[in-house]
Amino acid sequence: MLLAGIDLVEIQRIKKSMRNPRFLLRILGPSEYAQLELRGFPVQSVAASFSAKEAFSKALGTGLHGFSLREVELLRAENGRPSFKLSGNALQIAQERKIVFQVSVTHTKVYASAVVIGEGPENAGT
């Protein structure tokens, strides 16, 4: 079974949220935070991370319930390829449902977007 989630976020909305110093600590997991900190927390990348978490929740079918945003980390390889590092309840749900996720993100000056595809057995979405 294939599961899909997509999200689009206005970068200006994330920029406004970033004025609160707790925002980044609330939404970013430790590895994700460290990667973005090295780059100076570019707002487009933070927005892409947030969008990826929203898209993940849609593909998983839970909405933003049952796990923390920090448990879904969007990491970037040296070549820029994005991937998820799951932990806590997010990892537990994915493992119980036997779902493997792929993610793609993009942004412009105005929007950031993410598409998440989950693949698992026929009953993966339940």
Reply yes or no on whether 58 is catalytic: yes
DSSP per position, the chain? -EEEEEEEEEHHHHHHHTTSHHHHHHH--HHHHHHHHHTT--HHHHHHHHHHHHHHHHHHTS-S-SS-GGGEEEEE-TT--EEEEE-HHHHHHHHHHT-EEEEEEEE-SSEEEEEEEEE--TTTT-
Does the pLDDT at position 113 exceed 80?
A: yes
Question: For position 21, what pLDDT does the model report?
Answer: 86
Task: Give the pLDDT score at 51.
Answer: 98
**Catalytic one of 15, 16, 53, 58:** 58
pLDDT tens sequence across 92-110: 999 999 999 999 999 999 9
- Predicted confidence at residue 126, as pLDDT, reads 61
Read off the pLDDT of residues 19-49 as tens digits, 9 standing for 90 and up: 998 999 999 999 999 999 999 999 999 999 9
pTM for the whole structure: 0.93
Q: How confident is the model at residue 62 (pLDDT cuts 50, 70, 90)?
A: confident
Provide the pLDDT for residue 65: 85
Catalytic residue among 16, 53, 85, 107: 107
65 is catalytic: no
**Which residues have C-beta within 8 Å of that of residue 40, sequence separation ≥ 6?**
none
